[in-house]
Structure 1
Amino acid sequence: MKYLAMAGIDYENSALEVREKVSFTKSAIKRAFEKIKVEGILEEVIIISTCNRSEIYCISEEASEEEYLRNFYSSFFKIDKKEAEDNIVCRKGFDAIYHLFQVANGFKSMVLGEDQILGQVKDAYSEALLNKGSGKILNRLFLNAITDAKKVKTTTSLTNTSISVSAIGIKLIHECIKSFKGKKALVVGLGKMSKLSLQYLLSEGIEKIYVTNRTKTKILDAESIADNIEGIDFKDKHKVFKDVDIIISCTSAPHFVIHKGEFQKNCNEKKLCMLDLALPRDIEPEIGKIKGVTLYVIDDIKKIAQKNEQRRLVEYNKGMELVKEDVIKYIDWINHEGIELNGCNNITKDIFKEEVSI
């Protein structure tokens, strides 16, 4: 008998302050795989880490995998066992499979159906392969979930009606400053969400955008997008604090990249809107208490996202039918391969009959 389980912390069950404690950086993921291999309890492992969730999927030969995963989170991230117990959600067998398919499709995302999560699931799978963490069962599970998500995106129009996290962030900024005309912005970090933010800022007719990143080639790439984008060295970002009306930050740093002391020394008292899309957070929270500063964080996105969901539910329900079909196909593969997997082998499509759509 093989045992499939996942354990994780996400935005639905845990506050931002908790999630950032268990966020896997790239180096942390490598260390996690090394620790798991040394301990020798789990046979296969894949780790998903995004701004809204931290999840570990595993296969073991013992039915103690849930306890192991809870203890792993507590020891690896050095968090209190009670805090881990209160925030970690565990799923086993079929529930873990069904959950992953929904995650890959963005059906468990803060913004229903958002695109970025599929790339993050692909990255998680690639990272597991690189660290020799996954095996036959999880490889097929993740490949099937990724393939299903691609099919849902081409079969439904959910993607067309979805709004990205970055777009909602820009909407929050718009409510704060009213107009982008004549305004200047600083964008810190040049990952996917930051690049989307650049496009939205440009479409709003912003006057100038300063961009910065630790990798200089990314700055050069960003400068080529438009004439009013200017790159600055990461260490010099503070020099433009007093000139800008908007600061958007989304890096993968495990610590603050904009500190209160540095900020106060280099800003004036004009109105400033800040958007922190990172996890762990990039901007020291105390900055939001400074007069004239409005600071939005990733959890503020949730409030607007919930208002926009109703019109996407029809497409969501279409997508969920495809998800259910492909989940059963994965179960069929498990049976065809002769793999005994906890609570999965006797599953049929009838399991979905009692389910109620959101």
Structure 2
Amino acid sequence: MSTASPDALPPVWFSKNISPTLQRIRQVKRSGRYRVLASHTSPDAGYLGAADHGFVEPPMPSAAAYLDYVLQTVQKHNIAALVAGRYAAHLAQHRAEIGAAGCHLIVPSTDPASFERCEDKAHFYQTFAEHIPMPETRPVQNWPQMLAAARELEAKYGSACIKPACGIFGIGFRILTEGDDLKYFLSGNPLRLSYPAAELLFKDQELPVMLVMETLPGFEYSIDVLARGGELLTCVIRRKLVGLGNLQTAVEHPQMREWTALLCRELQMDGLFNAQFREDKHGQPKLLEVNARASGGLPISAALSGLDLGLLEVDSHFGVPLGDLTFAAGRRVTESQEVIALPAKVL
């Protein structure tokens, strides 16, 4: 750990992002190698209090306005590296301008197009289906198409499911069933939707592109990945288990690691990102999606591997030797809630 005064350390700025930012900030600050700044559009964001300096980002009318704000903030605080969440794809298009201001831009990919490729799952499936096993999928935009595709896949695989082609956090995902809406509602199961209820919801509606897919009943895997310049540096393959709470274990899976390395190369990944797989009824893992961002499960991967992935990401951009990135699989962990004190005042 460095003994330098915090003011003498290179400032690293974490802009508005999702929940795992708290642990990333803690890891980077604990190293003693950096001074950490953090911002969010809300003063109530839990991770602001973990930084050396927290501040509120102003409302922005556009991505272009946000770029101007970033450049001004980089100059004002002499930022050495920006770990960007908000408008990450747009900032990636302007990497040269940010670099000219003396700041490393840390986002999941060096290729701005990769953000859109990951966001549009219909296009993503078409691109990678020849290289990585995918669930059989039909893009649809109205109820008759959805019903026909669902019945076709149900006849072939036993069950069909739907989700928006663009979206995060599994929002809009439902497994289609013949009935029992009340039973699922009363039992707290939000993931089932009957065909009659789906018809009421979707019939005569102009829909965004939706995906109808085979339902995958096997183990789910979430892979937290650290890449640099399109190269896989390390990854934690988490298998989600049935048990009390969010029980997970780290596993070794050479084929899944090989597919992950392919994704790093093809998408020119350059930081932390996440890939989701699930097994079909035969135990074959199939790729569900790639998230061009650090996942909410990043703290679980850190606990399973012992690797400070957030710190490693920043170190990789400063040329700090990363050391041994291997770890033994097999550890099991679960989650518990944490209460976080907010700073008394955030400017």
TM > 0.5 fold call = no
Q: Which structure's residues are more often helix, by fraction?
A: 1
Q: Which structure's residues are more often strand, by fraction?
A: 2
TM-score (norm: length of structure 2):
0.28
TM-score (norm: length of structure 1):
0.27
